Every structure is written in structure tokens, then in C-alpha cells.
Chain A
């Protein structure tokens, strides 16, 4: 076992060697521009891109013609939301989203608000889930787009996408979902799940950074977008720019592997995750699960360790790479907006750690991480005034804290 151990698979993933191998020829010998129609260099690049479209489409239940390549999910999100808002502005301007979305969605929506598009930010339940009822209640005459993520990047909660999509189709409203964390990790079928637009990103699924795609439905309904990057009219006019052929080949291969190994990986990651949680909760008291135990990504575990501050815990497990919902790690003093939207108290948010388990995680690594976490939490609780107070039976919420920091 090599240290440090990587348990931050929701942040990014290493490129799978099989993916890298598939990409390599397209940097050197097969370097052609996929838009070159007059020679074999162009044809072979175009052929490889076509194969990638097919592999991606088959992972998500789409048709290859519905895939628009992008630089990643942030671009896909911008193109979907701004592209729809601009195209359908004469029909209506209202957008529905949720407070637990990724910043790429929230900041895009804020941008549109400034341009006069009213936006409703739904509050998720305490597990981070958006209900179809909440979406239905927020619908207005002028609603043109609903954007709710498939799986949350921090807590791993899965939203009822099929139901929200059905509601949107019934109401004639377009439905975009950020599929970045879900695609390749849980079953995704844009037809059965009633999705009109969905983005995904290669580097979250063992592909390279800097490439992703946007699924754009072509029939029932045919979704139209205003391009956000103008140029040579590539990607059916929706996204100009020379295609990143090696990246696209990598994305395609990454999707093909995820598709072929989906069932096995869900089972394996789920059982490693359960093992990690069982080890930790059997040896530490007051551990709190952030998220939804039932509707959750298999490789995600977001736990709060009350009475211990997240950053100090990260210091104590410095040879394990994880993420904290504590804000002390950044310049802002605000803890995670996702945990806040779930009404997780700021004290619990400050003590939260996200463990991300992935394709190359071993049981040995999970056990090592569990040992380290247990040891660090015990040590820090021994020096925590809050743990002492809790054991004395003092209700921390009733204390009149003297704080201005």
C-alpha cells in the first residue's frame, strides 16, 4: 500500500491506463482535425470521434447525434442554462433550480437573474434531496427550465430525476440535469429518465481533464440552444471550436469502461463504503451521516464528527486525501453551501469530511483510513471543550457563546 491514500474521487479521478492507451495515437500519428473532410488524417479523427459519440450515447441511453462535446461540465452547464434561457426567452424566463447545486449552476443562474430571468432556488430536505412536489409547486406559467442535479457532489444524494423529468414533460418545461457525479456511477437513461439536457465530464470517470459533453435531446421535444461560443459552427452549431480529439477519445473510452463495469463497480464501491462507515461508527460515538442513506452514490460517504473541527481532523489524517465541508480551509469563513441548504448546523458542517471511494481504492486502504480517522477523532475529542461539555450533559445549543469571529 502506497501513501498518501486518495479518497477524493468526487473531486477528480486518475486516468484509467486503458483510457490513456486509447488516447495516445491521437496525439501523434493520428493527429488530424476531425473537421478536415478531404484527407485520411481528418477521416480517421472523425471516425474516432464518432466512435466516442456512440460509446457515450450508449452509457446514457442517448443517440450519438445528441452529444455535443465541451471542455467539461462547467461549460456544459453554462451552455445548457444560458443557451435555453436565451433561446426560449420569448416563451418565458423563469428557471427553477436548487440551493444544493454545484456553484457552476448557481453562479450561472445568478448571472441570468441579473439579466432579468427570475430564478427559484428550491430548498432540499435534510438529506439533500429535492422532491418532485417541491418542483411542481414552484412551476409558473413562464417557467422554461428546471435544473436539478442527478447526484450531489458533496453528499452523494441522488435526486428523483425520472419523476422530476416526467413532471417537466407533462408541463412542457425543459429539464436539464447536471450528471457529472452520476454518469458512469449509477444507471442513467435519458429516455426512461425523461431528461432533455445533461452534462458530464471525463475527469470524474477516469478520463482526462478538460473534456466533457452535453446531451441535447433531438426529439420529443427537440431542444434548441443559443450557442455560447461562436465560430466555425462545429457540433451542429451549438459549440464551435476544433474538437479535442484525444480528449474526446478518452471520454468515449472512459464511458465504455463505465458502461461495461457499472454493475460490478456499484457493488464493489458500495460495499467498501459500507465497510468504512461500519468501522468508523462502531468505534466512535456521535458520528453523523450527511446525505441520504437510501438514495446515494455508491462511492460517497459524507460524515460529520461532532466536537471535532474539520481542518484539524484533516491535519491528523494528513496521509489521506479527503475533502472537508469546513470553511476554515478556504479564505471564506462560510461552511459548505450544500450542508447549509440541508439545514445541517454550521457546527456539524465544520466537522464534516467527504470520503470518496473509487475504481482503484482497495479494502486495505479503506481500513487504513478508518484506523487513522478513529485515532485522530479520539485524540482531538480528548482536547475538545465541546466534547467535554457534551459528556457533562450540557446542551451546546443552550450556551450563550461569546463570539464575533
Chain B
């Protein structure tokens, strides 16, 4: 299967790889996927007020999954929580020119963003 140049670029030079302090009250963590399905994404956001000031990811998955999560962190940085929540997987598909068999990678990235935001909100509500 041929990969698009953008997927190859994210795979070779992934943006924002790493971890944030998941114990911090300003950090939301989303982990989605499962090892037996071949992909797991961990996406973390650091929030100030209602704005995402930093984002990090780690992904176990194919090149398209790595690219989808890398792109997601790039896009959500600087966005408000409401704006980030509106990112659709189809936008990721379009940006990375993902073929039909790789659409699930983009769905996972959207889920990871939502999971991280939800984790942050839960933390805040229970604080």
C-alpha cells in the first residue's frame, strides 16, 4: 500500500511525541483502542482556562494511526476545548489522504481527543 506524503512525514517526524504528568489537575488523558486490535492511542492535553496549551501523544499502531494522532495534537494545540471537540475524523482523513481501510485510524484519533477532554472535565468537576 502506498502512503501519502503527509502520512510519511508524520511517521518519520512525528509532532508532539511524549507524555504529560497525568496526575496533574491541568492535564487530561485519553487512551483509546486495544492492543489486540492493533492500535492504541494515548493523547494528553494541558489546559489553561479553557484553552489547550500543550498536547502530547504516544501511539501503538500502523503508520496511519501514528500520523492521525500526530496531526491531532498539532491541530488541538492552541484551540479551546469547545473548538477541539468539534474536530471530525473526516477532516483527518482528508488532510492525510487516508484510504478506506485506514479510516478507523482517524476515528480513533477523534475518540482520543474527546477522551482526553472528557478526562480533563471529569477531573475538574471532582476537584
Name A's B-contacting residues (CB within 8 A): 307-312, 315, 326-329, 331, 333, 335, 345-347, 350, 382-388, 396, 401-403, 405
- Ranked nearest first, the 6 interchain pairs of A and B with the lowest CB-CB distance are A401-B34, A403-B34, A346-B36, A347-B35, A385-B42, A311-B62
Which residues of A sit under 8 angstroms from B47, Cβ to Cβ?
none
| Stretch touching chain A among B53-61, B79-87, B90-98 | B53-61
- Partner of A396 from B35, B65, B104, B115 at Cβ < 8 Å: B35
Q: What are some 28 contacts across the A-B interface (CB < 8 A)?
A: A309-B61, A309-B65, A311-B63, A312-B63, A312-B66, A315-B3, A315-B63, A326-B62, A327-B38, A333-B37, A345-B35, A347-B36, A383-B14, A383-B57, A384-B60, A385-B31, A385-B40, A385-B58, A386-B35, A387-B60, A388-B19, A401-B33, A401-B34, A402-B31, A402-B32, A402-B33, A402-B115, A403-B32
**Shortest beta-carbon distance, B116 to chain A, in Å?**
12
How many contacting A-B pairs (Cβ < 8 A)?
92
- Answer whether A385 and B59 are a contact pair too, CB < 8 Å, given A315-B11, A402-B32: yes
* Bound CA–CA A345/B38 (angstroms): 11
Any A CB within 8 A of the CB of B39 = yes
B59 to A333, Cβ gap below 8 A? Answer: no
Any A CB within 8 A of the CB of B117 = no
Which residues of B sit under 8 angstroms from A385, Cβ to Cβ?
31, 40-42, 58-60
Which residues of B sit under 8 angstroms from A307, Cβ to Cβ?
60
- Answer whether A350 and B14 are a contact pair too, CB < 8 Å, given A309-B61, A384-B59, A385-B31: no
Any A CB within 8 A of the CB of B108 = yes
Q: CB-nearest residue of chain B relative to A308?
A: B60
- Answer whether A405 and B41 are a contact pair too, CB < 8 Å, given A315-B63, A350-B35: no
Which residues of A sit under 8 angstroms from B59, Cβ to Cβ?
383-385
Which residues of A sit under 8 angstroms from B34, Cβ to Cβ?
401-403, 405
